[in-house]
Amino acid sequence: MNLELIKIRTDVVKAIRRFFDERGFTEMLTPRLVGLPGQEPYLDPFWTTVALPLLERGSRRELESGEFPAALITSPEYAMKKLLAAGFDKIYDLGPCFRNREPWDGTHDPEFLLLEWYRKNAGLEELMTDAEEMIASVIARSTTTRQSPEIASFLAMTDKPFRRMTVADAMKQYAGIDLEPLLGNREALAKVAVEHHQTVRSEDSWDDLFFKLFLSEVEPKLGWNETKTEWQPTFLYRYPASMAALARKDPADPRYALRVELHIGDLELANGFAELADPTEQRKRFEEEKALRSKLGKKTWAIDENFLAALPAMGSAAGIAFGVDRLAMLLVGAVSINEILPFSARERFQN
């Protein structure tokens, strides 16, 4: 346990709150325990039971309503969008989130700090600007204990706009792949994957093949300069539409979705959307995700009807999820998330 690094993580949290408070955002302390968590096929909530106590009614003891299945949230997204629909316009949530069956690989922990902020009448550009300014503000208000060429160059560039790059441009630049003619064509993408020495299985979907190429040839280069000697903070945006279940499609080309990620060095820090507000389209996507969960042999549950009912009132909005622990890792040059957590899962459960 490194007390100095843990203190810097605490300073980062304070600086983030100060940044959003000063810009008129309202902090939301949303529930961590819910009955219907997100439907993402590749995220696994922790499940438990909420039970009401036995009540004394005269000489009888009886349950008021019984027991209810409940999950720890993987993200506060559903609650935040319901709050937008209720009338809030600039909000953020900064607190623990929980994801089971995550790898303990140095960048993940089953309990982690997640920042999410949302704006009404905004899009991806506003989210990217918020993220740039927030990171610069945090750096200005905190100190680092480990200096390296990467950290020094990063600190020097935080007053400049980060690089913005489309997914198609990144695939072309880093993998030499022209994505446009491959969109939605599984067999064509499979042929390209084989040419790039990827294993192609009959059960691989278009998305599976895309991620094999993306994760092996594109993502490792995204957050770096050409020589991989300095970090190059990069916003990657305009994803294929199938890869953004909660995002609006690009009105200029519905084959793409209005989604953005932020990469710095080897870390993905943020994932944001221009939020989908169409309950019919959202139901369709939830049902597709639920079917995929079932196909993967995972637990399924009902769709959150209250969430769907709230979407029209949310209107035009954008929101982004940001990994606070990973930002702290960058600022102190930590190799592992375990260095900046007071008690990591590895420490709690493997010792």
Residues 6+ positions from 331 with CB-CB distance below 8 Å = 8, 12, 138, 139, 142, 144, 151
Strand boundaries in the chain, DSSP class E = 26-27, 33-34, 47-51, 54-57, 60-63, 67-72, 90-98, 111-120, 163-166, 234-240, 249-250, 253-264, 267-274, 317-323
Low-confidence ranges of the chain (pLDDT < 50): none
pTM of the model as a whole: 0.93
Topology of the domain covering 3-162+233-350: BirA Bifunctional Protein; domain 2 (3.30.930)
Residue 173 burial (CB count, 10 A):
14
Residue 74 contacts residue 99 (beta carbons within 8 Å): yes
Return the H-helix or E-strand segment holding 152.
Answer: helix 149-157
Looking at residue 157, its pLDDT comes to 64
CA 133 to chain centre: 19
Q: Which amino acid is at 33?
A: L
Residue 179 contacts residue 206 (beta carbons within 8 Å): no
What separation in angstroms does the CA of 144 have from each of 132, 150, 162, 263, 327? Answer: 18, 13, 21, 20, 12
Looking at residue 200, its pLDDT comes to 97
- Domain ranges in the chain are 3-162+233-350
Considering all CA atoms of the chain, what is the largest pairwise distance in Å, rounded to the nearest integer? 78
